Amino acid sequence: MDDSIAIAPDQLVQRHAQPGMSLLAVLHAIQDELGYVPPAAVAPLARALNLSRAEVHGVITYYHHFRTQPAAQVTVQLCRAEACRSMGTEALARHIETHTGCRFDAEHQHGATVELESVYCLGQCALSPALMLNGTLHARITPQKFDAIFAAASKCVEVTA
Ligand code: FES
């Protein structure tokens, strides 16, 4: 059993893999519950959905949305697609890296405090540059606006830690 989760992978899959559900729907349900899809769930998922482990693993790793380990306490997902790029997202990315001391898309350790991810379009092109911070969407981000929302999120982490 994966020691990092409180439920056995077989039970986790049984809970979410209802008849007729697609693999993607089950993966979303698991990630919604745990915040990630534990690697130990791959084999039970394959058995439950009559797929190969390679097929399940392939889907999990193909979609950037799915995590295979818990997220950092503060996760910043910055849009780096065209509309946001035209509105200065690359300069903003450099500011965020300097401000946080982290690098975008770097491997992070389990239990890390801050994680920076590049994403490609958050559906807020008219309000670019856009980012998500711990799942909350923020638009028309400036360096000053980022500093304020990052400070607020970091304060919440300190309070709950
Ligand atoms: S390009 Fe950034 S939200 Fe669409």
| Cβ atoms of 141 and 96 closer than 8 Å | no
Mutate to test the pocket of ligand 1, among 125, 138, 140, 141 (most ligand atoms within 8 A of CB): 125
Mind listing the domains of the chain with CATH numbers? 9-62 (no CATH), 74-160 (3.40.30.10)
Binding pocket residue ranges, ligand 1, CB within 6 Å: 79, 81-84, 121-125, 128, 130
Q: Spell out the per-residue pLDDT of the chain, length 161, in tens.
A: 445 567 888 899 999 988 788 999 999 999 999 989 999 999 999 999 999 999 999 999 999 889 998 888 899 999 999 999 999 999 999 999 999 999 999 877 767 789 999 999 999 999 999 999 998 999 999 999 999 999 998 876 655 55
Q: Hey, which bits of 17-152 come out as E strands?
A: 74-79, 114-119, 131-133, 136-138
Where do runs of H (alpha helix) occur along 35-110? Answer: 42-49, 53-62, 82-86, 89-100
CA dist 55 and 62 (Å) reads 10
Name the residue of 77, 78, 80, 84 whose CB sits within 8 Å of the most ligand 1 atoms, as the mutation to test its pocket: 84
Q: Backbone phi, then psi, for 98, in 5-degree steps?
A: -65, -45
Contact 38, 5 (CB under 8 A): yes
